[in-house]
Amino acid sequence: MTIASIIQQLCFLTLAAVVVLGALGVVLLPNIVYSAFLLGGVFLGMAGLYLLLNASFVAAAQILVYVGAVNVLILFAIMLVNKKENLAVIPGLLLRRLLSGGVCAGLFVLLLRVAFTTHWALPGPQPVGEEATIRIGEHLFSDYLLPFELASVLLLMAMIGAIVLARRDVFSSDVITGEPVDQGLIEKTRQPLLIDSTAAAGQPLLETTP
Amino acid sequence: MSADPLAVTRNASEAVTIAFGSSIPLQAYLAVAALLFCTGVWGLINSRNAVRVLMSIELMLNAVNLNLMAFSDYLDGQLIRGQVFAIFVITVAAAEAAVGLAILLSLYRNRETVDMERFNLLRW
């Protein structure tokens, strides 16, 4: 066993521990802000694993897209919707958690069995190593050209869809004076949709924000 | 002998790649990915905060990506189609996160909550 392989195994074990413990923290921690930051740690650990797998370009893309965009987006979403609310107690929550935990453990065992009993065609061809970026570029502009172009259309659709979905309805004119408002920043009060009428009459379904 | 100085570097990096290639079994990566995926599934089922549900989906997508990358390196080292697939998955995941968080924001404006148990309109 050479020193290179020892170092590689140490790196793998560390990164795997970071990823797995971070994922457990994302799921289990009660404070969602901690979860979001741990999710960034998981993404960074995944990028390290990609580096171990001779994929420097995808590791860079992972850091740029996931840590730089998705995680920041999630943090902004948390800041926008983070309101203290008292979650209603659900009967049988513990039983539900245990049941789903059992199902997930069964799925995990099944996946492990598949991974360890299948005869993989190892050793495969030698990895291209540092030429991976060149190969990816060749793929993207030859045999994966159509998915590549479709991905750009998909991103455009997602961008427009996100803007349309998250946009607020605003008045174009002042409510009292009727003068046109330049910025249109007066938000329309919106009745919350589909409130149960009995719940609305009895106990307020919505906690009114002060 | 030293007409192409890059060749030496390239050979050295190839040797390093080969030496690095076989010290970790493929199954180790698959096990990590399976654990990550199952954690994501559990969080998807049990989270009551809608943002945490989106985070669990990201965990599952990352697990799939790790599988793709491991297979690409160990079984498809010359063509690395798995890396191309991983890039497409990252693209779709970014789009999904943007649209998902926009939907979440819209839901929050309508219902004033992010509790998944209260989004029960489609319950039979």
From residue A56, give the alpha-carbon distance in Å to each of A10, A122, A153: 19, 23, 26
What's at A140, amino acid-wise? Answer: L
> Which of B57, B65, B69 to probe by mutation at the A interface, max A CB count within 10 Å?
B69
Q: pLDDT tens for residues A87-143?
A: 778 888 899 999 999 999 999 999 999 999 999 887 788 888 788 899 999 999 999
Q: pLDDT tens for residues A39-89?
A: 999 999 999 999 999 899 999 999 999 999 999 999 999 998 877 777 778
Contact A63, A185 (CB under 8 A): no
Q: What value of ipTM does the predicted structure carry?
A: 0.82
Helices (H) and strands (E) in chain A, counts: 8, 0
Locate the chain A residue with the closest alpha carbon to B10.
A130
pLDDT (0 to 100) of residue A184: 53
> Measured between alpha carbons, how far is A177 from A155 in angstroms, rounded to an integer?
41
Q: Which of A8-12, A206-210, B56-60, B62-66 has the lowest mean pLDDT?
A: A206-210
Interface check B116 vs A, CB under 8 A: no
Percent of chain A at pLDDT > 90 equals 59
> Measured between alpha carbons, how far is B41 from B55 in angstroms, rounded to an integer?
11
Banded model confidence at residue B120, pLDDT cuts 50, 70, 90: confident
Average pLDDT over residues B100-108: 91
Q: Residue A92 CB: number of other CB atoms within 10 A?
A: 8
Find, among B71, B10, B23, B66, the residue nearest to A9 by Cα: B23
pLDDT (0 to 100) of residue A26: 95
Q: pLDDT tens for residues B23-56?
A: 889 999 999 999 999 999 999 999 989 999 999 9
Picking from A57, A85, A163, the nearest residue to B115 by CB comes out as A85
